A and B are shown apart, each in its own frame.
Chain A
Amino acid sequence: MYKKTILSICITTAILAGCGSDKNDSNKNILSPTSSDVTVSARQSVTVTGTLTGNDKDSDITFSIVDPDSVKLGKLVITDAAKGTFTYTTSASEGVEVINFKVSDGVNKDSISELTINIDGGDPLYTQQWHLNNTAQNSFSLGRGLAGNDLNVEGAISSGATGKGIIVAVVDNGVEISHEDLQNNVIAGGSYNLITGTNNPTPFANSAAHGTEVAGIIAAEGWNGIGGRGVAPDASLVGFNFLDQDPLCAQPTLDNFSTCLAGVQTFSNFAKSHGKSAFSDTARVFNQSYGYSPTLPFTADTDEDELMLDVVNHGPDGNGSLFVKAAGNGFQYFKFQNAYWAPSIAVIRGEDNNHGLPFHNANMSPDNTNVFNLVVSATNAAGQLSSYSSIGSNVFVAGAGGEYGVEAPAMVTTDRMTCTKGSATTNDRPSTGFMGGAHPLNEQCNYSSTMNGTSAATPSVAGVIALILSANPDLNWRDVREILAKTSTKINPELSPIMLDVAGKADFEAMGAWIDNAAGYHFNNLYGFGRVDATAAVNLARAYKVNLGVYVISDWTQKDKLDKAIPDGNPSGVTDSNTVLDNLVIEGVQIELNIDHKRLPDLAIELISPSGTHSMVMTPYNGFTYQGVADQTKPDEIVTGYVDTPMLSNAFYGEESAGDWTLKVTDVNNGQYSFWTQYRAGTAQNPTANKKVVEIPNDANGLLKGWSIRFHGHAAS
């Protein structure tokens, strides 16, 4: 009897030995595997790695889950079945998972034990923050997003890049620094009130929530059991109320007008809040969710630009800082001089789309045309350009800005505390169920679900930059731009170009599809290099070996006294070439234009590199419409066209500068043109009406008088 058993074992062992197992080579596998219970702790959205416990003294073993359906709160993956290693990720803010796993040797009885996962310290609103992890949640709106269209933050966070050690300055209308979900990330005594001189930049007006909402998108505290989470949940915050208003101005009169306007937006205060004071000179990232959208061309502010150049080059520890800037919210219409401007009333009613072109091209705002501002457009939860987002060749990347939060998701973030302040206030008929003080997750109205705009997209990118810098603090501002250009996601890859009918032919490309430039970077005027991908950016930041060399700004290469006619309504347009001798690897291209034209929205302005890359730096049918309302009796108001008007393109990033650059100016419209404005009453031209359709006549040729070009980059090898 025993002999037979021994023989049987020997045969079995011999068969198994043929499988090549080392242990089986020992002619064993008599013993059953053993296992023991395992307990791990997990945090919401942070991938946990662990090892199941099991053993078999005479055989190889395999780990597996007894019933995959028993994993209720997250996703469990056995990454190495032989070793029992696993990863676990959950979106739950709290809870306990008990999962049976088994250890098998293929012969003897399996051993079964429990894996217990304790989930704690999450953020209850995290699951509605589509920009962090888009699961097609509705974010308290009537609609849903499209899963996957997010900033891909989870991998970066799980890898340990959380923004820790990086200071982000929120330059806005103030920040409620005592907010329950911000206070632990706010540097005590580190903020500055530009009106009172105190260290509390909380806005004066109860309704002013913008900066607090922005701050939450950047660095709302994570895993504290309340609210949501910032993109960089461990980053530090300082706030400046550069856009706040003095409370004395609640009822402005002629008597207190001087006091009221003597508020905040001076160059001196710009300097204090943008890196040139003891309160702002430690910030590595400046969030600027502000801007202006003019209806006539302006020149750049040389002083602001130069101050920013100083800060990007000489910021904290010599690595410099980054300025992140909102592109604008004027795709359909915008506000300027307390009036609204739109291409037509039909656009506002949703009956027209202005040929698919932006009314506010981001290059219309001079503050968006310096290289030091990293200009951000907005995408929504469906992975499309947000309906309002300004765009242009100066956009560097796209962030998450959402829609309006009613029909489709906006951003879920911090709001002013209590139901008497901020965006969410006590209301029987709120814009969404989350906003009126009755929602169980927002009974104190400390959070908002309707924050949107490029104002929201900008801090989403500022947060990602904080993650990048926390992963590799030695990076400078140009390194970060390089990383973003290389890693941002090409969304809507099949995007079609916008074609216009000019002189009877519908073949004028007014705005291109995605391009791959000569240096291999993909670029598009809607999204720049694409939507930021936090995980890819952080991974590259850790492995970053590139040395961009010394930063060089070339001299302007000028062409003037050209006086070339721009034929009216003719797709041939006019071209002029500018030969550039300096050879830099391009990190940004600026031009300045001098063009006489009586109807600026007619003009499409395109820049073509020596490598053949085309960039539409100013799209036609834009909002440079002031010529239609200018008081012709006032010489100061008359707009002759472009006068030293700056524009920026990022489309040539990585290409070399030497060679012939071509400017093409095309007048696309020889017919009628009108726009709509809710304009000021009481001008000589417009004595009573304040809302009107304005026609701008023009059948004359324009005149290209001159243009200049310069480059930002480093010496080509």
Chain B
Amino acid sequence: MKNFKTVICLSVLLTSFVGTLAFAESNKAEKLEVADTKINEQNLVDRTSSTEGAYKVLQGDSIVRSDTLNKGQIVFDRLSQPSIVTGDLVIKLRDSASSETFAKDHGLSVSMNTESNLGVYTPISDAGLVKLLESIKKDARVIRAKLDKSTNKYQIQ
């Protein structure tokens, strides 16, 4: 099963961008019409196996596994839904921690922080987001941390 190939339709990746389904996108509760559909035939090739690398990312016309992530990179979730790594980090600190000090210690700038010490931080340099994240998670001041990503999760209702 090495290099097991699964063909994933581009239309899935471009969720909500392309009107490949016969029923039109609507700005209201959609009335579904039962009709044949035409799926975009342009495909990507999934070259990932279940063991290589922590992240599924887009590389050329293929989806591959990778242990590194960079700003602007396309990464796929467990259901092969794409998102873009924005380069920012979402970090929840303990109440006693200073966001400014924490940011300085890790080479970050504070973009936003709440009263409960949940903040958005931007790395001063672009290098190595995964390593940076791992380093941040080991800091005792951190309750949780993740990379911020751009998704299309929410849809109008």
> Once the chains bind, are A637 and B157 in contact (CB under 8 Å)?
no
Q: Is A681 an interface residue (CB 8 A)?
A: yes
In the bound complex, how far is the Cα of B154 from the Cα of A691, in angstroms?
A: 24
> Once the chains bind, are A266 and B27 in contact (CB under 8 Å)?
no
Q: Is B108 an interface residue (CB 8 A)?
A: no
CB distance from B18 to the nearest CB of A (A): 7
A452 neighbours in B (Cβ, 8 Å) = 28-29
In the bound complex, how far is the Cα of B83 from the Cα of A261, in angstroms?
A: 7
> Once the chains bind, are B150 and A262 in contact (CB under 8 Å)?
yes
CB distance from B63 to the nearest CB of A (A): 12
> Once the chains bind, are A265 and B37 in contact (CB under 8 Å)?
no
B residues 1-27 near A (Cβ < 8 Å) are 1, 4, 6-9, 11-18, 20-21, 23, 27
Q: Which of A277, A458, A690 has the most CB of B within 10 A?
A: A690
Q: Is A63 an interface residue (CB 8 A)?
A: no
For B18, the closest partner residue in chain A by CB is A252
A423 neighbours in B (Cβ, 8 Å) = 27
Known: A260-B17, A291-B157, A637-B78. 9 other contacts (CB 8 A): A209-B27, A257-B74, A265-B152, A268-B112, A410-B28, A452-B28, A455-B27, A636-B78, A680-B11
In the bound complex, how far is the Cα of B111 from the Cα of A277, in angstroms?
A: 10
> Once the chains bind, are B86 and A252 in contact (CB under 8 Å)?
no
Q: Which of A267, A307, A314 has the most CB of B within 10 A?
A: A267
> Once the chains bind, are A266 and B148 in contact (CB under 8 Å)?
yes
Q: Which of A207, A265, A458 has the most CB of B within 10 A?
A: A265
CB distance from A426 to the nearest CB of B (A): 17
B86 neighbours in A (Cβ, 8 Å) = 262, 266, 268
Q: Is A310 an interface residue (CB 8 A)?
A: yes
Stretch at the interface among B97-105, B114-122, B123-131, B133-141: B114-122
Q: Is A635 an interface residue (CB 8 A)?
A: yes
Q: Is B81 an interface residue (CB 8 A)?
A: yes
In the bound complex, how far is the Cα of B94 from the Cα of A34, in angstroms?
A: 79
Q: Is A454 an interface residue (CB 8 A)?
A: yes
CB distance from A258 to the nearest CB of B (A): 6
CB-defined A-B contacts under 8 Å, sample of 13: A173-B27, A249-B17, A265-B151, A268-B111, A291-B154, A306-B114, A309-B116, A310-B116, A328-B157, A335-B155, A338-B12, A450-B28, A454-B29
A687 neighbours in B (Cβ, 8 Å) = 7
Stretch at the interface among A103-111, A124-132, A341-349, A432-440: A341-349
For chain B, the count of residues having a C-beta within 8 Å of the partner chain is 63
For chain A, the count of residues having a C-beta within 8 Å of the partner chain is 83
For B48, the closest partner residue in chain A by CB is A634
> Once the chains bind, are A453 and B78 in contact (CB under 8 Å)?
no
CB distance from B109 to the nearest CB of A (A): 13
CB distance from B111 to the nearest CB of A (A): 6
Q: Is A678 an interface residue (CB 8 A)?
A: yes
In the bound complex, how far is the Cα of B113 from the Cα of A314, in angstroms?
A: 13
- Say whether, besides A307-B118, A337-B12, A678-B37, A258 and B84 are in contact (CB < 8 Å): yes
CB distance from A269 to the nearest CB of B (A): 8
Q: Is A333 an interface residue (CB 8 A)?
A: yes
> Once the chains bind, are A691 and B36 in contact (CB under 8 Å)?
yes
**Chain A 317-344 per-residue mask, 1 if CB under 8 angstroms from chain B, else 0:** 0000000001011000101011010100
In the bound complex, how far is the Cα of B23 from the Cα of A276, in angstroms?
A: 37
Residue from A252, A265, A309 in contact with B17 in the complex, judged by beta carbons closer than 8 Å: A252
CB distance from B153 to the nearest CB of A (A): 5
> Once the chains bind, are B115 and A310 in contact (CB under 8 Å)?
yes
